[in-house]
Chains A and B, each alone.
Chain A
Amino acid sequence: MNAPPDSPDRTAFGPDLAEVFGPGHSDGGPELVQLLTPEGERVHHPEFDLDFSAEQLRGFYRDMVLVRRLDVEATALQRHGELGIWAQLLGQEAAQIGCGRAVRPQDFVFPTYREHGVAWCRGLDPLKMLGLFRGCDHGDWDPAEHNFGLYTIVIGAQTLHATGYAMGMQRDGVVGTGDPDRDAAVVAHFGDGASSQGDVNEAFIFAASYNAPVVFFCQNNQWAISEPIERQSRIPLYQRALGFGFPGVRVDGNDVLATYAVTQAALQRARDGQGPTFVEAYTYRMGAHTTTDDPTRYRLSDDVESWKLKDPIARVEVYLRRNGLVDDAFLAEVAAEADELGHTLREGCKALPDPKPSAMFAHVYAEETDELRVQREGNEAYLASFEGSH
């Protein structure tokens, strides 16, 4: 990628960064790992190629269709006032399913607040995600049951937790033993915006320093609310990894096959004790940042239209159909399943009960302090004083 020494694109300080990060690379650039083109053509890669069974491919398709429905339903539920807010994953289905399906049961995943597709892969009831965005709780699932952490709202904070968790795995002797059922690793999710956070950069430094088994999985969806990737980085994000002393790879985040293959390889590297990897899943946020956002104020619809042509689900469907791996009955079955999921989520969300006011006092500490007991009992007595008055 670097311009040769006599190139006019090269300055005394190295390559012209405008060239490195210019509009010519909006397709992800020549180093983008891809196994399935937007047109549904299966292509091969010298390092990250894998054979996928028909069942696996149908599974990816089903997963992506269902999590897209989950996302669309949740957005609609917000519009109907049933959710306070929703962080949309539209367009990022392949990145999340490819990564989520590459994770083994003993691995641990640290999400941001947008990893609904990964949560799906970890077996979470999507109503748990809706409960959080409805305001019933801050995430009512057991991280240890699913090896899937709670959603983390502060940008990038969880990358340090992931690194520390991976350091714990090292101390537990579950890294580099050669036993595929024992060796484990961690996936740390974050986005292009978070790549500017100090915590993320500190996580890179700690993980590199201790050779921790963590895969830093960055979904570069090009937008941090209204700020384009150019505001966060003047070089391709995956290239930053080199400066921290571990490998970085840019994968087509709209290609579920490539994302799966690259994540699996990075996870295996970590489980084997070879340390961290940065995976940049190059994708696009087709929706708004959240339901409170208005992307028409800051980005061109042309961009969105061009990314529509790279849809992660359409290319798999084309490939499956063209190769006779699915029939109309299968596609109809998945569509019906998606409708059923939508119905379940709509009804389930509306039926989620509000917590009682006293729930706010629970679990501040391992055991309730006297101070909190007095406040809770005082509040309960206060509320009870209104009972019977109209």
Chain B
Amino acid sequence: MATTATTQTQGQTQKITLAKGLNLGLRKAMEDDPKVLLMGEDVGKLGGVFRITDGLQKDFGEDRVIDSPLAESGIVGTAVGMAMRGYRPVVEIQFDGFVYPAYDQIVCQVAKIHYRSKGRVPMPIVIRIPFGGGIGAVEHHSESPEAQFAHTPGLKVVACSNPVDGYWMIQQAIACDDPVIFLEPKRQYHADKAELDESTTPEPLFTSRIVRPGTDLTLLAYGPTVKTAMRAAEAAAGEGRSVEVIDLRTLSPLDMGPVLDSVRRTGRAVVVHEAHVNLGLGSELSARITEECFYSLEAPVLRVGGFDTPYPASRIEEDFLPDLDRVLDAVDRSFEF
């Protein structure tokens, strides 16, 4: 799967999937810093269930790419201890819905130890979580728990949306001295390819980015919904509407600068995420936009997301997930004000 990526080892440019971008980024981080360790279920010989760590144990050994017992709290809790000893653990939670056994360690320990210790004990841990739906999976394999972590002071939360960001953002997250919840849109792992030029300088990790400029409405998305938002903007253009798309990339802290600047120009904003709408990231974004751009707004900030139900059975998941039509519907509603 990941190994199908076209690689041009001659030059610095290669065409890669998100899975390959993450794999290359992890490899680079491990080469650059011997303190970087990977740990998780099946990350060794198998290369992880999504093959993100493919080949890394073979090259870096079992001491640095650690197959763990099947216990998520144990994975995160031991990573805390390794971080205290000076390591930079990168742990893989196999699926979003499996993170909850580790929730206590993440919220009560990972997030608070730097604070508790008055900055004496850094917690440079990256917790990688494949998130989001659309892969026809059984229960607990398609969830979007980002708000639960973004609501927790002490954690940073980012979501990559494309192969090139995957390559850079994972390295930046590993280099970060704070704990980072690193969300990977699993549906995108082996989907689209993009050109990676390793000679370029990436933007800082905790920044949002305009991925399509526009003048009439701002679409805010991250992770898997960036692709949906881009398609919606394309379709809206056909109807004569110029939609700006922002890939948020960082969910905590939020990088409100580009968002507020955009909404002040367009006067309209729609937030798109797969997570439940109630108290999701869209709620916070809506509140902040309203507080800061009240007099620029032509319409209330609208939210498109998963319904406030548990994630449904996969035969109807496309009706749960925000798709092109639901985003366009929200765009229409925004213009109706």
Q: Which residues of A contact B (CB under 8 A)?
A: 137-140, 142-144, 149-150, 152, 154, 157, 159-172, 198-199, 202-203, 205-206, 209, 362-366, 369-371
Contact A369 B105 (CB under 8 A): no
Q: Chain B interface secondary structure, helix, strand, loop or mixed?
A: mixed
Find chain B residues with CB under 8 A from A198 CB: 71, 73, 101
Q: Tell me if B154 is interfacial: C-beta within 8 Å of chain A.
A: yes
Q: Identify which of B69, B120, B206 contacts A142 (C-beta below 8 A).
A: B120
What is the size category of the interface that chain B forms with chain A?
35 or more
Contact B85 A164 (CB under 8 A): yes
Question: Which residue of chain A has its CB nearest to the CB of B107?
Answer: A154
Q: Identify which of B63, B119, B206 contacts A362 (C-beta below 8 A).
A: B119
Nearest Cβ on chain B to A110's Cβ, whole angstroms: 8
Contact A199 B253 (CB under 8 A): no
Contact A164 B114 (CB under 8 A): no
Complex CA–CA separation, A137 to B117 (angstroms): 9
Contact A160 B77 (CB under 8 A): yes
Contact B73 A163 (CB under 8 A): no
Question: Which residue of chain A has its CB nearest to the CB of B67?
Answer: A209
Residues in B79-135 with C-beta less than 8 Å from chain A: 79-87, 89, 101, 104-105, 108-109, 113-122
Find chain B residues with CB under 8 A from A369 CB: 206, 253
Nearest Cβ on chain B to A372's Cβ, whole angstroms: 8
Q: Identify which of B89, B104, B176 contacts A154 (C-beta below 8 A).
A: B104
Find chain A residues with CB under 8 A from B118 CB: 137, 140, 362-363
Question: Which residue of chain A has its CB nearest to the CB of B79?
Answer: A164
Complex CA–CA separation, A169 to B71 (angstroms): 21
Given A157-B108, A165-B85, do A150 and B116 touch, yes or no (CB 8 Å)? yes
Contact A206 B101 (CB under 8 A): no
Residues in B176-190 with C-beta less than 8 Å from chain A: 176-178
Nearest Cβ on chain A to B207's Cβ, whole angstroms: 11
Contact A371 B253 (CB under 8 A): yes
Contact B78 A160 (CB under 8 A): yes
Nearest Cβ on chain B to A137's Cβ, whole angstroms: 7
Find chain A residues with CB under 8 A from B122 CB: 366
Contact B104 A157 (CB under 8 A): yes
Q: Tell me if B153 is interfacial: C-beta within 8 Å of chain A.
A: yes
Contact A203 B117 (CB under 8 A): no
Q: Identify which of A160, A163, A171, A364 contacts B153 (C-beta below 8 A).
A: A364
Given A164-B79, A199-B74, A203-B77, do A157 and B105 touch, yes or no (CB 8 Å)? yes
Contact B84 A161 (CB under 8 A): yes
Contact B119 A203 (CB under 8 A): no
Other than A165-B84, A364-B153, give 6 A-B pairs with Cβ distance below 8 A.
Answer: A150-B117, A165-B81, A206-B69, A363-B117, A365-B114, A370-B253
Complex CA–CA separation, A366 to B115 (angstroms): 9
Contact B69 A164 (CB under 8 A): no
Contact B81 A202 (CB under 8 A): no
Residues in B191-235 with C-beta less than 8 Å from chain A: 206
Given A143-B120, A206-B68, do A168 and B101 touch, yes or no (CB 8 Å)? no
Given A143-B121, A371-B253, do A199 and B81 touch, yes or no (CB 8 Å)? no
Question: Which residue of chain A has its CB nearest to the CB of B122?
Answer: A366
Complex CA–CA separation, A24 to B178 (angstroms): 53
Contact A364 B82 (CB under 8 A): no
Q: Identify which of B76, B82, B117 contacts A168 (C-beta below 8 A).
A: B82
Q: Tell me if B51 is interfacial: C-beta within 8 Å of chain A.
A: no
Complex CA–CA separation, A206 to B154 (angstroms): 26
Contact B63 A160 (CB under 8 A): no
Q: Can you list 26 contacts pairing A with B, beta carbon distance less than 8 Å?
A: A137-B118, A150-B116, A150-B117, A154-B104, A160-B78, A160-B81, A160-B105, A161-B109, A162-B81, A164-B81, A164-B83, A164-B85, A167-B78, A167-B81, A168-B81, A168-B82, A202-B69, A203-B78, A205-B69, A206-B68, A209-B69, A363-B114, A363-B117, A364-B153, A364-B154, A365-B114
Q: Identify which of B69, B71, B154 contacts A365 (C-beta below 8 A).
A: B154
Find chain B residues with CB under 8 A from A157 CB: 77, 104-105, 108-109
Complex CA–CA separation, A144 to B83 (angstroms): 12
